[in-house]
Amino acid sequence: MRELARAKLNLALHVLGRRGDGYHELDTIFAFVEHGDLLEAEPAAALTLRIAGPFAPALTGAANNLVLRAAQALHDRFGVAQGAALTLEKRVPVAAGLGGGSADAAAALRLLARLWGLDSGDPAFADIASALGADVPACLLSRPARGRGRGDALEPLDLGLAGTPVLLVNPGTALSTAAVFGAWRPPGSGPLPANPVDGGNDLETPAVALAPEIGIVLERLRDCPGVGRVAMSGSGATCFALFESAEACGSAAAAIGAEHPPWWTLPTRLI
């Protein structure tokens, strides 16, 4: 069995303030693209995980391993007798503002529900997702939504953007989410505007201060023909640009790839 861990974008992200539990109060718009990591599962006596793919070397140690944590939590919660042999093909950069481990953990929950014959609509799935991390509930949904609170109080949305060509670009810089949030200084931008997609990303300024190459990526994307909205996703360092056509998106990807070979680029579409 296979499950796609779709990469997550924050089309807008406003930080409203710091919370007493160590998190930040957010108002954000989640969207997802057609591409992401791939998770496979086979029946087995125990829970195991093998990591492959171009970004596998960036994942070392249990701290990066939300997939096994998700699998173990689901196994224990439902008292499942069998295990699973999991293989994660890591196709997108790590620590990149794309959901990463959260998307992988959410994919594990969806995949193992099918493998083990569990009801994915059981409230336990949402409880496990929330306990694993603030982005995991949104990634479990993997559909456009507005996130409040830590980002896990979700309101599904129809943004009317399905099929929109989007180019993802990462300069090859891994950014710590904690470091970027730690560098954020109030006040934020307040709640999102009436059209929430018109909001900005309050983490862009601290992220650029920590990794100036993000600013270079954003400037390059804004210069592309046929480009619309350009922003950084999450806490970075991946930036995205929405395009008016797949041809314009593909041309931009080719041009940027030729100019900056070390940068990671992915032309895809919003779902």
Q: Which of 37, 104, 135, 152 is catalytic?
A: 135
The structure tokens listed for 268 are 């895809």
Domain residue spans of the chain = 2-156, 165-269
pTM: 0.95
Which ranges of the chain have pLDDT less than 70? 60-64
Q: Which of 8, 37, 152, 202 is catalytic?
A: 8
Segment 233-257, tens digit of pLDDT? 999 999 999 999 999 999 999 999 9
Res 61: pLDDT: 60
| CATH of 2-156 given 3.40.50.1100, 3.40.50.300, 3.30.70.3290, 3.30.230.10 | 3.30.230.10
Report in angstroms the alpha-carbon separations of 259 from 96, 173, 215.
21, 17, 16
Helical pair 66-78 and 123-132, crossing angle rounded to 10 deg = 150
Cβ burial of 41 (10 Å; 0-12, 13-18, 19+) is buried
Res 63: pLDDT: 39
The domain over range 165-269 is classified in CATH as 3.30.70.890: yes
- Residue 244: φ, ψ to 5°: -80, -15
Res 59: pLDDT: 83
Residue partners of 216: CB distance under 8 A and separation at least 6? 171
- Residue 6: φ, ψ to 5°: -60, 135
Segment 125-142, tens digit of pLDDT? 999 999 999 999 999 999
198 catalytically annotated: no
The structure tokens listed for 232 are 């950084």
Res 64: pLDDT: 52
90 catalytically annotated: no
The structure tokens listed for 67 are 């997939």
Angle at 209 between CA 14 and CA 135, to 5 degrees: 40
Q: How far apart are CA 83 and CA 228, in angstroms?
A: 46
The structure tokens listed for 105 are 């953990």
CB atoms within 10 A of CB 140: 26
